[in-house]
Amino acid sequence: MSAPTLDRPAAERPDEAALQRQFDATIAADRRIEPRDWMPEGYRRTLVRQIAQHAHSEIIGMQPEGDWLLAAPSMRRKAILLAKVQDEAGHGLYLYSAAETLGADRADLTDKLIERRQKYSSIFNYPTPTYADVGVIGWLVDGAAICNQVPLCRSSYGPYARAMIRVCKEESFHQRQGYELLMTMMRGTDAQRAMVQDAVDRWWWPSLMMFGPPDDDSPNSAQSMAWGIKRHSNDELRQRFVDMTVPQAAVLGVTLPDQELAPDPETGRYRFGAIDWSEFKQVLAGHGPCNDERIARRRAARDDNAWVTEAATAYARKHES
């Protein structure tokens, strides 16, 4: 979009209709909207909602795998897992920074998460009882995240799109480490293979739910796609994920828990069974297996570490004066 408008004297500012036309032209030309550009309030609100939800997902998403940091089976696995969980913290930080360019306040967003006024991905409300869960999260959850996020590198909002580039590179690495871990377990004992299959059985359907409700029940999709925030519909991305993952499952030697999963000769894509959307709704309503635990921990992290923020703020003030 052209030069910033808000810092010009009022008399020189284009009227709202002209600004809207300029915004529409930028979107139509597939160019980026930048923080100092004028944007409709609905566009700003939608971005803050999605980016905050995404940031919260990265931060809450550290918990399920983080549970295994002290119990990883070797020093090598512990180092790998620690690096992955740290990457997720970094992704959260890029995303909160992108939200801040829209005028949001990070502490306020965290409060909204803890007060359950903002969402985070449904997938992080499931438990991780075995080490195979760490591998399956890498393979399926990071795999789904990549399918969803690669198109976001072309999102119309500049800071979000740019943040996604690095995030996607790291998620791609995470996906491979998960697959490598599972491959190693599948070459191990019968008990290890059973552990991998059990984890796949538990994570498959929740992974499909990560993409959001079906298109005909997705209130935000049409507008978000018209604004170029989202580039593909929820169902299209879910289908891409299935098409990408089924051959990987065959190489791994696991069975995906869906008897209706089969290639469709007409489309060349995989047909799959019905998703249990009542489970998704229950998880979003706060009644998943781990919702309370995830929020309680996030709240404790905020409260227990408040003194660090206060000390850093006091130190920064001291050096300003």
CA distance 251 to 183: 9
Q: For ligand FAQ, give the closer residue by CB, 38 or 241.
A: 241
Q: Are 275 and 208 in contact (CB under 8 A)?
A: yes
Q: How far is the CB of 232 from ligand FAQ (least distance, A)?
A: 9
CA distance 276 to 77: 34
Q: For ligand FAQ, give the closer residue by CB, 50 or 197.
A: 50
Q: How far is the CB of 145 from ligand FAQ (least distance, A)?
A: 4
Q: How far is the CB of 222 from ligand FAQ (least distance, A)?
A: 9
CA distance 219 to 190: 45
CA distance 123 to 206: 6
Identify the CA nearest to 125 among candidates 273, 11, 293, 255: 293
Q: For ligand FAQ, give the closer residue by CB, 90 or 263.
A: 90
Q: How far is the CB of 263 from ligand FAQ (least distance, A)?
A: 26
Q: Are 99 and 109 in contact (CB under 8 A)?
A: yes
| Residues engaged in binding ligand FAQ (CB under 6 A) | 49-50, 53-54, 57-58, 61, 88, 119, 121-122, 137, 141-142, 145, 148-149, 209-213, 218-221, 224, 230, 234, 284
Q: For ligand FAQ, give the closer residue by CB, 19 or 232.
A: 232
Count other Cβ atoms within 10 Å, centred on residue 16. 10
Q: How far is the CB of 284 from ligand FAQ (least distance, A)?
A: 5
Q: How far is the CB of 30 from ligand FAQ (least distance, A)?
A: 19
Q: What share of the chain is helix, strand, coil (3-state, %, to 5)?
A: 70, 0, 30
Measured between its terminal Cα atoms, the distance across the chain in Å is 38
Q: For ligand FAQ, give the closer residue by CB, 53 or 192.
A: 53
103 φ, ψ to 5°? 95, 5
Q: For ligand FAQ, give the closer residue by CB, 50 or 177.
A: 50
